[in-house]
Amino acid sequence: MADRASRLDRPVGPLRMAAALYGSRIRSQASFRASFAADLAGQALLVIVEFIELWVILSQVGVFGGMTLTQVAVVYGLASLAFGLADLAFGEVEQVSSLVRSGRLETLLIRPVPLLLQLSSLDLSLRRIGRIAVGLAMYVGALLAAGFSPGAADLVLAILAPLAGAAIFSALFVAAGALQFWLIDGREFANAFTYGGNYVATTPGAVFGAPMRAFFTFVIPATLVAYTPALVLLDLPGPALLPQWTGWLGLPAAILLWTATALLWRAGVRRYTGAGG
Amino acid sequence: MNQSPTPTRDPAVGERGPAVALTALRRDYTVHAKADGARRRTARVIRAVDDLTLHIERGEAVGFVGANGAGKSTTIKMMTGILQPTSGDVRVLGRSPVAERRQLAREIGVVFGQRSQLWWDLPLRDSFAILGAMHRLTERERRARLDRLVAGLDLSGFLDRPVRQLSLGQRMRGEVAAALLHSPQLVILDEPTIGLDMVSKEGLRRFLTEDRAERGTTLFLTTHDMSDVERLAERIVIVDGGAVAYDGALADLRESLGAPRELILDLASPREEPLRVPPGAQCAGIEAGGIRHRIRFSGADLTVPVLLASLSEQAEIADLSLAEPAIEDLVRRISAQER
Amino acid sequence: MLSYWRILTATFRQHTTYRTATLAGIFTNSMFGLIRASILLAAIHAAGGELNGYTALQAATYVWLGQALLAPIEAFGTREVAARVHQGDVAVDLLRPLSFLGLFFAQKLGRSSYYLLARGIPPMLIGALLTGLALPEDPLSYPLGVLTIALAITVAFLGDMLVNLAAFWILETRGLTVLYNSVMNLLSGFLIPILWFPPWLLAIARWTPFPSMVQTPIDVLSGRVGPASAIGLIGVQSAWILVLLLAAAVMLRAGARSLEVQGG
């Protein structure tokens, strides 16, 4: 009885609150089983179909951007895994403009929970697990097929890279959402950086000319998500601007990007309360 | 037991000052619109709220009425921290709403009649679980409060149904319960009864009155329905053109305007000659072959029970209804008087 | 006919008002064009200057024409008809004096012609500046190219319509839309020219209407295919329009009947 009583009176900290928010979404989606399964399969197939592009090219040329098919699969799998994780957690933040238009944003603002946490949890789409599962399978499978023989540092990077990559894409999604506080019709503009970033990240970085490579490294750190970590894991030399050691820059880049994004998001919400939507 | 489980970090702030203090409040919108025939869009400033001053003490119940576009919604947005005033000062429960939006959210409950705050695809019960977590209510606090809300708003029949399947009346009761779950000190209702049938309206009003009596909450309500104000509020504030046009007791308003109400009686048996009525009332028409009698009276001079008592002595009453003067009529008269 | 024309022009005008969205679309379209051109050019470079009949200039032209067609054919799919089916509004649409398919096709043509002009041409100009474009030698290729674009838009419209009409029987069509569009992006030759496919995949692609949506207009407009062969490709496009139109009409009929049964 004492146990039960203490459970009833247990204070709700931020973590339990977040768990309750995410938990409710997960339960609700698992209940539509049939359409959920179709969605999941659709997302998984999407990842595979998109890989066919690279596969067709590699079946014609053998080595692409300094990488063999297996090595490219490591890059593709790692980037897809990272993008899938970010899409799951923050993909819906992109919807800011429709929330503003429908007025739903106002109902979120009168709750005592940070807006970003609400947006992240309240439209969590579990179907995106399909992309994550295929990405993970490709990443691990291709690494093993490429004869990955990890030292301790390699192993740390292999685990860290998808998480840092997910953080980078998450920041891009949030920045894309924040931009819509200014450009209510500019949702597509942000796609260039989120989905465009994913496109670049799933491709060997050496493929791109120097200006593009620089842009997608220093401005949008897409090459640091999968390509440069793969250079370290597979012990390959990098092209100009991207020496092998840049494979370790994913996490610092994620931190930098998140700092800038957090400021942008705050400014965006402030703009909304100032302008009134 | 303390009925307010909200863990206010600095209780002193929430306890200080009046419930609502709006001082010389002003809000402008910039609208980009294309004038007829013009090639370029031009920016135009629209003043939605213009020098609005209003003080509401704790425990008061205020009806905030006005025509569409009078500035009601904009005022509510500024009170809840959704919108920053262009100039002037807003204090709600002693807090500055935009700066302290999230703290304030724990102390106020808001119902937007036009916008759902519930989770569309989840059973109603789950919305309360999520909101309980958001307000960091302990399991015990949440259950106790929810039991009270379920009983008072009669939610038990559809707690497990997804919100999208609820009728408008059921959903609205759910919305009110959601706004009251964390036992807020100030309850803001924006058109809470819009589109509801009489039974739902009555149930909602009864519970809001009860809950207020129990907890001493402050109530702030916008509505188009004069009977909402009558049943829920003691004080009425009329806004027109973004400023306060009238502020006082509802009865005084009626008196000063002499706005008549109309009692419509359906008698059990036809009666051709008019009913005798006390002073202050007059027969306004007899219809349906003597079954329906319309009695016009002024609310300030005469109350409905007194009128009914005198009428029921003369004939058996089968049914009755009361027609209220429309808000728009009142506002029009007020504006006319001002000018 | 006049009412369809009015719908078409009204839709066109409506889209001219979304200026920020158009600018954003042009930007994103050009960015993706750059990424795709980089990938294809690197592949051709790795293959020694030519890959399955494509030179660097032809591949770049291929990418920019593809980007120009992306918005007009609405390669990411539409959901309007499916939503109307689910909400029951389709019952009203079916009662209108206009043909259901005609109504939506008029809207589609209005949208697509605006997209082609506003979102298609600017990325082409950017491409012409950055990589250069291969142009057809025979002047006849231009009118034929315009015709293949119109037919491609029609084929894409009908394919998308079939996916939307599946909403009569499937409760949630989002998964189907995603799947259809990813297969379409690949087999239409939007991502890479279908001639680069291994033989078995090329054979599959040729038995679908997808190449008629992207590969055909690109081949004709870039002059890779001369006017004589273009006539044959136009025949293929027209055949697919007939087949898909028939399928859409059958689905619409069956769907309308299932509505009556449900009493919706």
* Same domain as B292, residue B236: no
The angle, 0 to 180 degrees and rounded to 10, between the axes of the packed helices A152-179 and A250-275 is 20
Q: Which domain holds residue B324?
A: 259-338
State the pLDDT at residue B200.
82
Share of chain A above pLDDT 90, in %: 60
More confidently predicted of C203 and C91: C203
Domain boundaries, chain C: 2-261
* Same domain as B322, residue B292: yes
Binary contact (A203, C46; C-beta < 8 A): no
Residue B8 in domain: no
Tell me the C-alpha to C-alpha distance, in Å, between residue B96 and each of B22, B25, B104, B247.
Answer: 11, 13, 8, 24
Closest partner residue to A199 among C35, C46, C179, by Cβ?
C35
Chain C 165-194, residues with CB within 8 Å of chain A CB atoms: 170-172, 174-176, 178-179, 182-183, 185-186, 191-192
Residue B34 in domain: yes
Beta bridge partners of B248: B236
Residue A277 in domain: no
Residue A184 in domain: yes
Closest partner residue to C25 among A64, A188, A199, by Cβ?
A188
pTM summary value: 0.85
State the pLDDT at residue B56.
94
Q: Which domain holds residue A100?
A: 32-271
A-chain residues near B138 (CB < 8 A) = 8-12
Total length of chain A: 277
Q: How many CB atoms lie within 10 A of CB A92?
A: 19
pLDDT tens sequence across C214-236: 999 999 999 888 999 999 999 99
State the pLDDT at residue C63.
94
Give the whole-angstrom CA distance, residue C224 versus residue B332.
Answer: 74
Element (H, E) at A274: helix A250-275
More confidently predicted of A120 and C264: A120
Residue A2 in domain: no
DSSP one-letter string for B218-240: EEEEE-S-HHHHHHH-SEEEEEE
State the pLDDT at residue C242.
97
A48-61 b/e with 16+ CB inside 10 Å = b?
ebbbbbbbbbbebb
Give the whole-angstrom CA distance, residue C153 versus residue A195.
Answer: 25
- Looking at the structure of chain A, the number of domains it has is 1
Determine contact: A219 vs chain C, CB below 8 A.
Answer: no
The complex's ipTM works out to 0.88
pLDDT band, residue C201 (cuts 50/70/90): very high
Q: In what order do the strands lie in the sheet with B61-65?
A: B108-112, B186-190, B218-222, B61-65, B235-240, B243-249
* Same domain as B141, residue B207: yes
Residue B2 in domain: no
More confidently predicted of B278 and C155: C155
Give the whole-angstrom CA distance, residue B249 versus residue B253.
Answer: 6
Closest partner residue to C192 among A57, A65, A187, by Cβ?
A57
- Looking at the structure of chain B, the number of domains it has is 2
Tell me the C-alpha to C-alpha distance, in Å, between residue B272 and each of B266, B275, B279, B310.
Answer: 13, 9, 21, 18
pLDDT tens sequence for chain B (339 residues): 344 444 444 444 445 679 999 999 999 988 776 655 556 667 788 888 999 999 999 999 999 988 778 888 899 999 999 999 999 999 999 999 999 999 999 999 999 877 888 988 788 998 998 899 999 999 899 999 999 999 999 999 999 998 888 888 899 999 999 999 999 999 999 988 877 888 888 888 899 999 999 999 999 999 877 778 888 898 999 888 888 988 988 777 766 666 667 778 788 878 777 777 777 777 777 877 778 888 777 656 677 777 777 777 777 777 887 776 666 666 667 766 655
Binary contact (A42, C176; C-beta < 8 A): yes
Element (H, E) at A102: helix A96-102
pLDDT tens sequence across C49-78: 889 889 999 999 999 999 999 889 888 888
CATH code of the domain covering residue B72:
3.40.50.300
Final residue belonging to a domain, choices B187, B214, B248:
B248
Chains that touch B (3 or more CB pairs under 8 A): A
Q: What's the rounded mean pLDDT across residues A17-29?
A: 79
State the pLDDT at residue C78.
86
Residue A134 has pLDDT above 90, yes or no: yes
* Same domain as B130, residue B174: yes
Residue A194 in domain: yes
Binary contact (A57, C25; C-beta < 8 A): no
pLDDT tens sequence across A244-275: 999 999 999 999 999 999 999 999 999 998 86
Give the whole-angstrom CA distance, residue B191 versus residue B212.
Answer: 18
Residue A252 in domain: yes
Angle at B33 between CA B27 and CA B34, to 5 degrees: 160
CATH code of the domain covering residue B297:
3.30.70
Residue B234 in domain: yes
B-chain residues near A114 (CB < 8 A) = 102
Helix locations, B162-249, DSSP H: 168-180, 198-215, 226-232
First to last CA, chain A: 51
State the pLDDT at residue B36.
58
Strand pairing report for B42-56 and B20-33 = antiparallel
State the pLDDT at residue C264.
40
* Same domain as B327, residue B226: no
* Same domain as B106, residue B47: yes
